[in-house]
Amino acid sequence: MKRNTLVGVAVVVVLLVAVDVVLVAMALARTAPEAVGTPRPVPTFGASPEGTPPATATPSPSATAQGEADGESRRLLSAVSGLEAWRASSAACSAAQVVLEHTVDGGATWTPVTLGDDVRALWGMRATTDGLSLLEAVGDACEPTERTTTDDGATWKAAAAGASGAGITPDGVRLGSTTVANPCPQPLDAFQGSSTAVVVCDGQVEWRTGTGSWVDVPLGGVRGVAVDGSSYTLARVGSPECEGVQFETMTAIDVTPATPTTPLGCSDVQAEGQIAIDRAGQAVWMWAGDAVVVSTDGGKTW
């Protein structure tokens, strides 16, 4: 071959080798790891929603803020049946320590129910098969507000006046949309029916019909009241016949200072503090001390 031809072939070979080197370098560059900056957090799944409290296994004082609030706390109890009930513990409005719980297994377990951040105290509570209504102290001014839930506390809406029953407030006894003066210095419990109302005081029970005057019935040791048609069920301590809590019945019609009571039965639960009771048919509930107990025969046996 001629010299010029050999030189040309050599140049072509060199160019091809150079092109090949460039292509290989580009391929290696495309497969090299890239800098991606700070990695994102690994997502997690299955966690409980923020703010959802755990269910309590047993009814205990720690689950209700009893004895923990700044100032004396008050207990509320409202029964729907022999298996379902609601209970709440609330301190003074300024303390803003409120606990609400629900049971559907006769008090064996209690599920906490979250209330709004604006709720400072609970003054009244009434449960039915349709739902639960509360008389709440709302906001910094502790404005009396009634709310109802029909989905076990998932959502709340405004309630009709009186839906939460009677309430004991710092300004007096709340009956419907009206607050009346306390018939005694420190009311312990209250109930409002369709035409009558009763307030439990230390040493007596106060009863009235409509907007009439209160009738003073001297009864020592009464700590709680529930209703059974045309009669009241009373929880009473200090009876010589009962070392725990004695249950008695009293008519709710035409009450006079001499209206008698009839013993029903005795619970051996020791109650030195507050007692909360309620009744749904023959099921009578009592929350005293650390115990929640249920009678299925109207308070005769426990």
Output the pLDDT for position 91. Answer: 85
CA R_g for the chain: 35
Other CB atoms within 10 Å distance of the CB of residue 35: 4
- Look at residue 162 and tell me whether its pLDDT is greater than 60: yes
Mean pLDDT value across the chain = 81
pLDDT in tens, 50-65: 333 333 333 333 222 2
| Domain layout of the chain by residue ranges | 1-32, 61-295
Other CB atoms within 10 Å distance of the CB of residue 297: 12
pLDDT-derived band at 4, boundaries 50, 70, 90:
low
Output the pLDDT for position 53. Answer: 36
- Residue 206 falls in which region: left (phi positive, over 0), alpha (psi -120 to 50) or beta: beta
Q: What angle do CA 214, 219, 225 make, to 5 degrees?
A: 75
pLDDT-derived band at 187, boundaries 50, 70, 90:
very high
Give me the CATH topology for the region 61-295.
Neuraminidase (2.120.10)
- Cβ neighbours of residue 204 closer than 8 Å, sequence gap 6 or more: 184, 216, 217, 218, 219, 220
Output phi, psi for 139, to 5 deg.
75, 180
User: Which residue shows structure tokens 């439990």?
Assistant: 200
* Residue 169 to residue 93: CA distance in whole angstroms: 10
- Look at residue 231 and tell me whether its pLDDT is greater than 60: yes
